[in-house]
Amino acid sequence: MISFGPIPSRRLGKSLGVNNIVSPKACSYNCVYCQVGKTKRHTKEREAFYRPEVIYQEVQQHLRRLKPDDYPDYLTFVANGEPTLDIHLGKAIEQLKKLGIPIAIISNGSLLTKKDVRDSLSLADWVSVKVDAADEENWKKLNRPVAGLTFEAYLSGLHSFADEFTGILCTESMLVRDYNDAAGHLERLARLVKEFHPDKSYLSIPTRPPADNRADAPIAKQLIMAWQFFNNEGLNTELLTGFEGKHTGYTGNAFDDILNITAVHPLREDTMEELLWNDKSDTSVISSLLHMRLIDKVKYKGKIFYYRQYRPI
């Protein structure tokens, strides 16, 4: 279950996801808003997960099953945790480049103090790094980093990577009510993001069930205020506050498609219905997956979402 989609991306068009982290979720953060759920393995140590050639073969086979209209704009490392924990990330990117599709990576940026991590990310065409907080207090409260990481080192790594990277660099700041949406903090956050000279700065809000149900979107006034602060700094800023769309790529195997996508990307009910229709399947697949406790469902802001479970059957 390495590749999934493609799914509509607000940033990348059609994105074929690449999940290079073996379950359960492994991450250097345990963000209150994470859509993948709570971190099961809280770590900053890099290790081997899948062999690069296995990732390549899985993605290649997935592409062969797609219809021409579903061919992705990007192959995107969006993992069951932090993708840079994979010690073979660079080799996996080199393998995937043979397919001729741009490579994108969404990272929390916490391991960029390591030169080998920066070298791996530098092989990608498009990189998004997380910048949610302008100070250590808010960083710890919102991102809940593993012991041993420091805010000072995190910023140093981001600066080093921004200076070295020649591809498209984006920042993403998740705004959460009562965590990092105070006016003074937003103004300082905009000044901090400017230091990295990103091609684009994204401001996002929780739109799927978060790890902590107290994590909610700021009120509209704070969102507009954040956008204004970022624009005042001359940043090319975009708000990511809407639903990406229902259409997802499909392979004809509803069982696998649902498990692959929900591993890192909860499926809204209407999106699930369209996926089943495209895969020429029906809701009995959902019933079976729920019965086997491979997926679960939750109601969030009036909508039903399905997400991957990793409990023993």
User: Over the stretch 253-294, which tens digit does the pLDDT of each residue have?
Assistant: 888 788 777 765 667 888 888 888 888 888 888 988 888 888
Whether residue 313 is contained in a domain is answered as: no
What is the arithmetic mean of pLDDT over 56-70?
Answer: 91
Do residue 232 and residue 273 come from a single domain? Answer: no
Whether residue 83 is contained in a domain is answered as: yes
Do residue 117 and residue 16 come from a single domain? Answer: yes
Decide if pLDDT at 102 tops 70. yes
User: Over the stretch 212-259, which tens digit does the pLDDT of each residue have?
Assistant: 888 888 887 888 788 889 988 999 988 776 545 555 666 778 887 887
Residues 6+ apart with CB under 8 A from 262: 295, 306, 307, 308
Decide if pLDDT at 60 tops 70. yes
Whether residue 246 is contained in a domain is answered as: no
State the CATH number of the domain containing residue 260: 1.10.10
Whether residue 125 is contained in a domain is answered as: yes
DSSP E strands, the chain: 3-9, 13-18, 26-27, 41-42, 74-77, 103-107, 126-130, 168-174, 200-204, 237-240, 267-268, 295-300, 303-308
Whether residue 112 is contained in a domain is answered as: yes
Range in 64-73, 80-89, 94-103, 119-128 the model is least confident about: 64-73
Which amino acid, one-letter code, is at 12? L
**What is this structure's pTM?**
0.79
Q: Are the C-beta atoms of 299 and 274 separated by less than 8 Å? A: no
Whether residue 302 is contained in a domain is answered as: yes
Residue found under tokens 């062969």:
64
Q: Domain total for the chain?
A: 2
State the CATH number of the domain containing residue 208: 3.20.20.70
Query: What range defines the domain where residue 107 resides?
Result: 3-240
Residues 6+ apart with CB under 8 A from 308: 259, 262, 263, 264, 294, 295
